[in-house]
Every structure is written in C-alpha cells, then in structure tokens.
Amino acid sequence: MDDVLIVGGGVIGLSLAWDLAKHGQSVHVIDQAEPGRATSWAGAGILPPAKANSSQHPYEQLRGLACELHPQWAEELKSLTGIDTGYRRCGSLHLARTPGEGAALAAWAALLRDEGIEVERLSAADAGEIEPGIAAAGLSAAFLTPEEAQLRNPRHLKALVAACERSEVKITSHVKVTAPRHNDDHITGIETTSGPLEARQYCFTAGAWTGQLLQRLGIATGILPIRGQIVLFHCENRPITRIVNEGSRYLVPRDDGRVLAGSTEEEVGFDKRTTEEAIADLTDFARGLVPALRRATIEQTWAGLRPGSFDGLPYLGPLPGLKNAFLASGHFRSGLFLSTATAVVMSQLLRGEQPEVNLAPFRVGR
C-alpha cells in the first residue's frame, strides 16, 4: 500500500509528490488525462515578487516561501533531469492609462514597498526608454518590479514528471475516480475506471475538477472553473524583454521570440474552447501595447480552467471529518507560482510535521 495517493497530476499534485518522495514517502499520482497537460500547462508562468515575513498574513508567507523556492527548484530540476525550466528573473512593468488606474497602481506599489519588495516609479518616457517596444505615450503611471520572474510552464511540468519518475513516484494517466469509499472518519479506498486503489493517506489536487470529486464525499468547497484564454505570438525578434502588465492582462516574452498575451476570466463551466471575441480582444490589447506584434504571426491560441475560490485563497489542509484525507486546490491564477510552497507545507502536514506556514486561513469549510 502506498503512503499517499494524490488525485490530480497538475503542478500542485506533481510538486507535492516530488517533495513527499524526497522525504521517503511512497507516492502514487493519478490523473484523468495526461499529467501536467491541463491548466498547469496552459498558464503564462508569471512569478511575482514576494517576501517571507513572519509578521505577515499566512497567505503572504506562502507567497514569500514560493518566491524563495522557485529558483532553488529550477536549479534542482535541471540538475536531476537535464531540463531547463526557463526560470529567469526578467523583471516586470506595471502600467496604467487612466488617473483612476494610476492611483490604484500607486497604492499597490506602496503595499509592495511595505513588504520590502523593490518597486520603482517611472515616468512614461522612462518606461519607453527601458522597454522601447511598448507604446508608452499616454501612460498615467508606470512601475518597475525588477525581481519578477517567469517559468515556461510546459518545460517545468515536463521536468516535474521526470523528477517524480526518477524519485520512484508512480504516475498513472487516464484514470477517473468513480467513487471514494469511506467509513466514519477515514477514506478506505477509491474506486476508479482502472479498478480500486488504496493508500494510507489521500490528497485531492485536481484543480477546477476538485469540487466535483469532493461532492461525492459530501464536502462542499465552492471551487469553480474560471476560463482563461491566451494568444501566443511568434516574432522574428523579441519585441520586449520584461513582463508587461496592464490591469489583469499581461504580455510575457520568451527568449525565443514568442510572446504570450492573456488572459480572460470567464465563468463558463467546464468549457475549454476559445472564442473569437476574446481572442480578438487579447490580440488588439497586445498589438496596441506593443506595435511590433502587428507584424507577428499568431502561432496558437488556447484556454485553461483555473480553480477559483469564493475568497481568493486556496484550500490547504485536512478534509473535515476525515483523518487521512487532505485538499490542496483553489489557487486560481497562482497555481504555478504557489506550487512550490504548497508542496512543502502540505508535505509537512501529511508527514505529521508542523507546517511552516499557518494553514488555518486556508482550511476547508472556512
């Protein structure tokens, strides 16, 4: 019998499996499709700056821990698997075009400074000088966060799968859960399309699909899918070098000349299709902000389903009434970013240690 069965092979499940395996646990990961090929793969890989500070809210501590761990994990994954995850600290511009948006951005920058994060206010001319590819005229406000970083999601997921396999984690694809079995206070097994599975402990990390799974245990979480659409441009020459954010939308430049433009936030259920209207809107946004993209070809478009929660915080911790079942889901747009820290604190919890971040604010049923 495995020590832990993880239901869901996205970035959260794979990261947790790898950390557990590094601490001597036997782990089995199952996924209803191909591990690392759903929402985790579909994101843009933005890693915002954060600082760990014991006086902050546990969510900020989780963000700070994630920020510390990402460069370490990138190096360790490359050493173990030979796969470069594309981690680099490229910096980011945050832009506003109206006075109201500028005031909100200035307040956000003040919060970052209070947390000890480096942020610099720029004039429109300065923004255009350090990033000549953007249309800087008419900007109401601009801020530079030099510590912001990025990953290439597909490479990071590929490295995690390889690292798990090298650490003797069992990974099984195309397995759907049909019914969890449980007595008064324990899950005793899980019925799947490939037969029954048993473990000493269970952790549900199925992203937007987690809520559906837990309904079969009579547990409501409020996790719901939020569709995000993305456009991928291919350029002969890289038009920008930093991540560029305007409101909830962004441009992420890759070293090979590709630029990702995202993203939407749509409550449409489990519909992963792209729409002409949203893709046209993202394309207009990208080409208006970076004129060189008007000459670039659209290489691909896609959508992912992010797991949203009612208050914006993920669910991390034990499932109510069950002594051997846990949940790590509901990270919304921050799944890749928070995956390292989530893996560490949940691994500590499953191994009977005191998590280094207080998980009370993330409890199920809060």
Residues in the chain: 366
Q: Residue 350 in 3-state DSSP?
A: helix
Q: How far is the C-alpha of 336 from the C-alpha of 358, rounded, in Å?
A: 20
pTM score: 0.96
- The DSSP annotation for 90-152 comes to --EEEEE-SHHHHHHHHHHHHHHHHTT---EEE-HHHHHHHSTTS--TT-SEEEEETT-EE--
Structural tokens at position 32: 């209803």
121: left (phi over 0), alpha (psi -120 to 50) or beta: beta
Q: Please give the C-alpha separations between residue 239 and each of 11, 88, 233, 285, 290, in angstroms, as whole numbers.
A: 29, 17, 11, 15, 7
User: What is the pLDDT at residue 53?
Assistant: 80
Residue spans of the domains in the chain: they are 2-85+153-223+310-362, 92-147+224-308
User: What is the pLDDT at residue 181?
Assistant: 92
Q: 2-85+153-223+310-362: CATH homologous superfamily?
A: FAD/NAD(P)-binding domain (3.50.50.60)
User: What is the pLDDT at residue 147?
Assistant: 97
Q: How far is the C-alpha of 185 from the C-alpha of 169, rounded, in Å?
A: 27
Q: How far is the C-alpha of 199 from the C-alpha of 184, rounded, in Å?
A: 17
Q: Residue 159 in 3-state DSSP?
A: helix
**pLDDT mean for each 10 residues of the chain (366 residues):** 97 98 98 90 94 86 97 98 98 97 96 94 97 95 98 97 98 95 93 96 97 91 95 96 96 96 96 97 98 97 96 96 97 97 98 97 94
Structural tokens at position 62: 């989780």
* Architecture category of domain 92-147+224-308 in CATH: 2-Layer Sandwich (3.30)
